[in-house]
């Protein structure tokens, strides 16, 4: 029986699935963000290189955080600002309330600030009798609708024009047509007196510059500049992690923010503020003041926590939300507490507690795309795995998660009992029982098991090319071992045809489900086991080849992280290849055309874990050299399968997985291809079911007639 926590999450997912218009609007916005980012990056002289610089800046400034804070306080005060260090949200709120009382303030005009959302500052100010108005349009819509942000950058993206017109009609008493020009005319008239008459203007800050005591505010509407400059009193609430050392550091971030968020170069309004000018002082008026509240609220603890420290590198661009497949379906009110999306999981754990983060952490399917798009290269998947791990230590794992983490054991048993197991997989009553007992969705067409595993076949064969100059250690993983050993055999045949000696070290499966569902103790055990057995091969100059993208990803990326970048894990990583990268290396560009591929159009799908490994370019090149007509087809995000996530029963599995993959499946059908090619065994299940098209591993296309 699902826990109360999961029941609440299931209900939210079901609501999102029953209201697809919101998801479609969110998806359109996310797609624009991804497309615009790609175009902007292509226009940059050094392309994606800025990510390395941003990461270096944030790593350095996090390391120097205490000294940079001291430096910023001194320089800001020298410029006339009053600086307050708030240990938590309550201290920050008390400071603002005391300031409002001292100035006899009646109104506060706010610019968009997620940091003030974090500490929920509005309600205490309202309770004290102050009028508090959000002046960012998206934030104002949400304030009037009594909702939290849906997205970091586009907070009210889920609201349609008709919704917004209704909200402002209720607020102003006017009749407002549901079109953008009419709405904006009313909004401008509504906000103008608020800008002009506010007693306190409150903003956040995108950056604080330690060397000058300067804050940087970036907006697209200009409201941040109005709020901070018109009134006599400006209050900035800023997290301590926003402080960088120099103007050069700040300029790099001023580029990275808009490029990553929406593809702009740069944000429309970039305001640099240091202290306050005396303008506006006059008879009977208090001097103009600038107050900077620097908030800790769990950040020091995050800095000292190796598992959470990297979250402080977040620059609040929202790029991780723009690429997250499950966020694209359910949005920030489900995938988030106050901080939404992938980065919201570690941030919520750090500032609002593990329990709040655990309420929605299971929505992460560990596709890893957030890390690939992040301008600071934050390893969000591993941090989220850490949050899941800590949460599971308190609440345990769900039944379906336990099943998915035991996939290797079930596959071994299924292969040993292949005839019986395969009949069971086709039996409707047995599948219902599997859904109830194991949490495997009965609607998924699971691949049958082979009677003889690849490892059994390999153990009884005679090795070829013994003593060859090129030795290859084969990392098989689950699917090619127990479900499709013929693919494993094809790998051996290809490698031996290139004169390589193939060896099969003792090994376990990749163990990635342990990472995905947050059992990091067992993930490290598997990583250590496999590294210990492949490292001696690498030390002897042996190359390592994996056929499954996630297995290659583990060898190259995950194992070094899990094993704290030990010498052996890095050695294994350096010697590991995806299959087709290695075949291309050994073939040297030579290949004969294959008549079986002619006259057919293939759509290629890149699995998520392939993106940091080359985005499937090697497999596409390998097929094209053999005469195949191959077109890359992608939305820019995941197919929704998320490894074993899409095998799980119910809303937090099959239902959400299918919804996340709808747009990609539609693209394949619209492309009119004859078949789909992918190297991922689990993506193949999703694409086959979602399109009805035949789906092949690249090796299948040259091992026999592809449409038998």
Residues 633/668, Cβ–Cβ less than 8 Å: yes
Q: Are strands 207-209 and 243-244 parallel, antiparallel or unpaired?
A: parallel
Q: What is the pTM of this model?
A: 0.94
Within 8 A by CB and 6+ apart from 125, the residues are 93, 96, 97, 100, 108, 132
SS3 201: strand
- Write down the number of H helices and E strands in the chain: 36, 18
CA dist., res. 329 & res. 656, Å (int): 8
Q: Report DSSP state, residue 129.
A: T
Structure tokens at 590: 């030579």
pLDDT value for 152: 81
* Residue 706's pLDDT band (cuts 50, 70, 90): very low
Position 707 pLDDT exceeds 50 = no
Predicted confidence at residue 708, as pLDDT, reads 40
Q: What is the pLDDT of residues 263-311, one digit of tens each?
A: 988 888 999 999 876 655 555 566 789 999 999 999 999 999 999 999 9
pLDDT in tens, 448-464: 999 999 999 999 988 78
pLDDT of amino acid 286? 61
Chain-centre distance for alpha carbon 671: 27
Q: What is the pLDDT of residues 525-580, one digit of tens each?
A: 999 999 999 999 999 999 999 999 999 999 999 999 999 999 999 999 999 999 99
Q: Please give the C-alpha separations between residue 345 and each of 59, 148, 272, 374, 387, in angstroms, as whole numbers.
A: 20, 16, 31, 15, 7
- Closest listed residue to residue 336, CA positions, set 150, 494, 533, 96: 150
Long-range contacts from 633-636, C-beta under 8 angstroms, 24+ separation: 633/603, 633/604, 633/605, 633/664, 633/667, 633/668, 633/671, 633/673, 634/605, 634/606, 634/664, 634/667, 635/31, 635/663, 635/664, 635/667, 636/31, 636/34, 636/35, 636/38, 636/323
Mean pLDDT score, 154-159:
85
From the centroid of its chain, how far is CA 132?
A: 33
pLDDT for the residue numbered 153? 83
Report the DSSP beta bridge partners of residue 676: 603, 695
- CB neighbour class for 596 (10 Å; exposed up to 12, middle 13-18, buried from 19): middle
What is the C-alpha separation between 550 and 610, in angstroms, rounded? 7
Q: Calculate the CA 570 to chain-centre distance.
A: 25
DSSP 575-607: TEEEHHHHHHHHHTT-----GGGTT-EEEEE--
Using alpha carbons only, what angle is made at residue 34 by residues 33 and 40, rounded to the nearest 5 degrees? Answer: 85
Of 140, 76, 129, residue with least CA distance to 100: 129
More confident residue, 465 or 122: 122
What's the CA gap between 30 and 152, in Å, rounded? 12
Distance CA 610, CA 621 (A): 15
Q: Is the pLDDT of residue 705 over 50?
A: no
Confidence (pLDDT) at 179: 92
Tokens of 416: 């040993």
């Amino acid at each position: 029986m699902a826990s109360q926590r999961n029941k609440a999450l299931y209900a939210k997912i079901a609501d999102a699935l029953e209201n697809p218009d919101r998801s479609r609007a969110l998806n359109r916005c996310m797609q624009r963000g991804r497309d615009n980012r790609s175009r902007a990056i292509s226009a940059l002289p050094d392309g994606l290189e800025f990510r390395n610089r941003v990461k270096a800046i944030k790593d350095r400034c996090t390391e120097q955080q205490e000294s940079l804070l001291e430096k910023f306080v001194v320089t800001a005060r020298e410029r006339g600002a009053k600086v307050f260090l708030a240990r938590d949200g309550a201290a920050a709120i008390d400071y603002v309330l005391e300031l409002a009382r001292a100035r006899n303030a009646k109104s506060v005009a706010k610019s968009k600030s997620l940091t003030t959302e974090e500490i929920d500052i509005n309600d205490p100010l309202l309770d004290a009798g102050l009028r508090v108005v959000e002046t960012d349009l998206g934030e104002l819509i949400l304030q009037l609708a009594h909702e939290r942000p849906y997205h970091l950058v586009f907070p009210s993206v889920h609201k349609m024009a008709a919704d917004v017109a209704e909200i402002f009609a209720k607020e102003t008493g006017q009749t407002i047509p549901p079109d953008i020009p009419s709405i904006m005319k009313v909004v401008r008239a509504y906000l103008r007196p608020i800008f002009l008459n506010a007693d306190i203007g409150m903003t956040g800050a995108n950056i604080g510059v330690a060397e000058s005591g300067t804050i940087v505010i970036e907006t697209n509407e200009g409201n941040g500049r109005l709020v901070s400059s018109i009134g006599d009193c400006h209050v900035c609430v800023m997290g301590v992690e926003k402080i960088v050392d120099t103007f050069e550091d700040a300029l790099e971030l001023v580029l990275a923010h808009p490029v990553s968020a929406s593809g702009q170069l740069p944000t429309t309004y970039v305001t640099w503020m240091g202290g306050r000018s005396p303008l506006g002082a006059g008879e009977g008026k208090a001097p103009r003041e600038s107050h900077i509240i620097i908030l800790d609220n769990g950040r020091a603890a995050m800095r000292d926590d190796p598992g959470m420290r990297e979250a402080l590198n977040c620059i609040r661009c929202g790029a991780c939300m723009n690429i997250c497949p499950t966020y694209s379906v359910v949005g920030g009110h489900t995938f988030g507490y106050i901080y939404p999306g992938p980065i919201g999981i570690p941030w919520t754990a750090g500032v609002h507690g593990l329990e709040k983060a655990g309420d929605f952490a299971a929505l992460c399917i560990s596709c890893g795309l957030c890390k690939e798009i992040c301008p600071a290269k934050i390893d969000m998947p591993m941090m989220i795995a850490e949050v899941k791990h800590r949460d599971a230590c308190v609440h345990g794992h769900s039944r379906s998660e336990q099943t998915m983490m035991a996939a290797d054991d079930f596959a071994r048993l299924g292969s040993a009992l292949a005839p019986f197991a395969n009949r069971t997989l086709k039996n409707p009553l047995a599948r219902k029982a599997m859904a109830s007992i194991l949490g495997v969705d009965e609607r998924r067409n699971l691949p049958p098991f082979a009677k003889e595993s690849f490892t059994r076949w390999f153990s009884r064969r005679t090795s070829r090319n013994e003593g060859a100059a090129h030795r290859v250690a084969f990392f098989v993983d689950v699917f090619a071992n127990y479900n499709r050993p013929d693919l494993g055999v094809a790998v051996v045949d290809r490698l031996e045809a290139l004169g390589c000696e193939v060896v099969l070290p003792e090994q376990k499966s990749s163990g990635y489900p342990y990472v995905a569902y947050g059992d990091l103790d067992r993930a490290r055990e598997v990583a250590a086991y496999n590294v210990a057995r492949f490292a001696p091969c690498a030390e002897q100059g042996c190359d390592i080849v994996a056929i499954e993208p996630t297995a290659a990803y583990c060898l190259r990326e995950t194992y070094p992280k899990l094993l704290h970048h030990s010498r052996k894990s890095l050695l294994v990583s350096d010697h590991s290849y995806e299959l087709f990268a290695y075949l291309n290396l050994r073939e040297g560009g030579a290949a004969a055309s294959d008549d079986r591929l002619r006259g057919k159009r293939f759509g290629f799908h890149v699995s998520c874990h392939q993106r940091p490994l080359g985005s499937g370019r090697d497999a596409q090149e390998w097929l094209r050299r053999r005469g195949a007509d191959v077109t890359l087809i992608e939305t820019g995000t995941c197919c929704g399968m998320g490894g074993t996530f899409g095998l799980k029963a119910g809303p937090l599995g099959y239902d959400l997985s299918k919804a996340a993959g709808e747009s990609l499946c539609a693209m394949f059908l619209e492309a009119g291809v004859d078949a789909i090619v992918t190297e991922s065994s689990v993506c193949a299940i999703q694409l086959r079911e979602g399109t009805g098209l035949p789906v092949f591993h690249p090796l299948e296309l040259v091992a026999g007639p592809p449409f038998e």
